[in-house]
Amino acid sequence: MSINKTDIQYNWNVNDIYSNWEEWQKDFDKIVTLMDEISQLKGSIKDATSLIKILDLNEKLSILSYKIYRYPQLQRDINSKDDFLNKKFQEVGILFSKFSVATSWLTPEMLTIPQDTMKKWIEENPEKLEKHRFSLMNMYRLQKHVLDEEKEKLLSYYSQFRNTPQDIYTALSVTDIEFPIIKLSDNSEIKLTRGKYNKILNTNRNREDRKKSYENFNKIFLKNKNTYAAIYKSILLRGVASAKSRNYNSTLEGALEGNNIPVAVYETLINSVKENTKPLKKYRELRKKALKIDDYRPWDSYISLVDYDNKYDYEKAKELVLKSLYSMDSEYIKKAKKALNNRWIDVYEKEGKRSGAYSAGTYGVHPYMLLNYNGTLDSVFTLAHELGHTMHTLLSDENQPFATHNYTIFVAEVASTYNEKLLLEYMLKTSDDPKEKIALLEQAINNIVGTFFTQVMFADFEYQAHKLAENNTPITAEILDNIVENLLNNYYGEDRYKDEYSNIFWTRIPHFYNSPYYVYQYATCFASSSKIYNNIKSNPKNLDTYIELLKSGGNDFPIEQLKKSGVDLTKKETILKVINELDELVDELEKVLKENNMI
């Protein structure tokens, strides 16, 4: 089947949010008016009625903000070179800064109400206030980190400025980046975009082509390494300033306390994995043997062990993903079909489009998914992954009031990685091609390596880098390189290949710049989805508790939500089970390779 990549069905439809910029401007202006209204209510919280009025107004503002933000953001993400879109997106940032100032008094004023009084108001007005109970009670839990009105107002003036480091990073690594043009062994010339770089490393059997791609792509980041270090240093120092200003003992505590995640969960995760990297080293040795490469190099790390370059056109990928959901309930499958077939997805790579993939919620409309689909097996799994996010968002939005619709990052990757497990199970079960089965086992292993081990290593890097800033230690590109050097030695061994590009992954990870202390949650979520998957396999009735998790939004602390689904992340055993799973999969892959006389 031939697919026209420019067909409108492969581009998302932002008209579901607003049909034109005039409609967007009306809501933009409405927010300005509502901000004036909420500012005038300062000092008016005297009883339950006045509290309800303010909370309703703030909720109306927040719902509108989702739409006026998402409309320019989605369009900018597929055309970052458009000055008009960049201008509109900046206007939203300025507005949100004003929003922050206009509402900076709200939490400090609510905290002047005794907690027992607040509980009484909720009990007397359940139809209006019960939906806010969790967030209001959590507010009192976090009271020591809320400043007085004047200090909150002062901090709010910096809200727009705080986003500047990641804006600079985006400009350097997306908008102004100049991808090199290289000639491959077949004499074809390609512009080495992120998507094409990843595709070459994953599918090109010519080792020299992979090496050339690796070196030329990494040169882009090596050239600007000191600039990236300066940007990242500003991110780290911003985190320290924020933690200190809000009375946290560390940046890590500041990142975790809002969701009531014990610091010990993070530290146990990185230490447990660091102490158990043997399966990683075993997998690397197996790859060397199967590829018959003594001088194993970074550009050999992603190529399939078999000459399996099967391309999955996008329509086939959708079919595979939908069929893999057979064990889910009919309502889930119906919603998944709707998500895949109604222009909620921007599918293909294009010039100026941001890299990677994501799913982004738009409350009151529907989620949107960004892909850079390239036909590889990995991109099929990316579709399943992002659909998991979208279904989580959709079910939360439909089953929770706005006050508790937004699930935390800590549980965000459970649904996405669970969907990947379903796709793997389905494809292994239905494939009759030995090469495809080997590729699928590799996919399963690489999921654990990429989503669990690598993300824990990234989390360890962030942990150590933030410690430098907290201890007033100099932060340079060389110092950041040294952190990576020690981590890679621990994870992959002192005998690993080393060159000038080996230690610069910190320049290429957007999460470090856009969402500090995010990546560890990929690992905790992977461990959680593995436990949930095994629970459901052993007893299909456990599917109900999983669906309830997806519907629960943010109505409880994430650790507690996961416990209701049968997952306890405070136990080291939950982490070790994933490590053992990798060990078993490597053994299974070795067995299949031997059966097919490949080793």
Tell me: the pLDDT tens digits for 44-90? Answer: 999 999 999 999 999 999 999 999 999 999 999 999 889 999 999 99
The pLDDT score that the predictor gives to residue 142 is 87
On the question of pLDDT at 146 being above 80, the answer is no
Question: Whole-angstrom Cα distance, residue 271 to residue 515?
Answer: 22
On the question of pLDDT at 221 being above 90, the answer is yes
On the question of pLDDT at 7 being above 90, the answer is no
On the question of pLDDT at 553 being above 90, the answer is yes
The pLDDT score that the predictor gives to residue 2 is 53
* Closest by CA position to 521, among listed 393, 401, 389, 399: 389
Average model confidence (pLDDT) across the chain: 93
- For 161-169, the CB contacts below 8 A with 24+ separation are 162/238, 163/93, 165/231, 165/234, 165/235, 165/238, 165/513, 166/235, 166/513, 166/514, 168/231, 169/228, 169/231, 169/510, 169/513, 169/514
The pLDDT score that the predictor gives to residue 133 is 97
- Say whether pTM exceeds 0.75: yes
The pLDDT score that the predictor gives to residue 565 is 93
Question: Whole-angstrom Cα distance, residue 202 to residue 294?
Answer: 19
User: How far does the chain reach from its first CA to its final CA, in angstroms?
Assistant: 36
Report how many helices (DSSP H) and strands (DSSP E) the chain contains, helices first: 28, 5
The pLDDT score that the predictor gives to residue 532 is 94
Asked: is 8-162 a CATH 3.40.50.1110 domain? The reply is no
What confidence category does residue 1 fall into, taking pLDDT thresholds of 50, 70 and 90?
very low
Contacts of 220 (CB under 8 A, 6+ apart): 177, 178, 179, 180
The pLDDT score that the predictor gives to residue 162 is 81
The pLDDT score that the predictor gives to residue 98 is 87
The pLDDT score that the predictor gives to residue 199 is 86
Find residue 190's DSSP bridge partners.
182
Catalytic residue among 152, 257, 386, 462: 386
Beta strand 368-373 pairing with 181-183: unpaired
Average pLDDT over residues 493-512: 94
Average pLDDT over residues 558-571: 91
On the question of pLDDT at 434 being above 90, the answer is no
Question: Whole-angstrom Cα distance, residue 536 to residue 254?
Answer: 35
Tell me whether residue 386 is one of the annotated catalytic residues.
yes
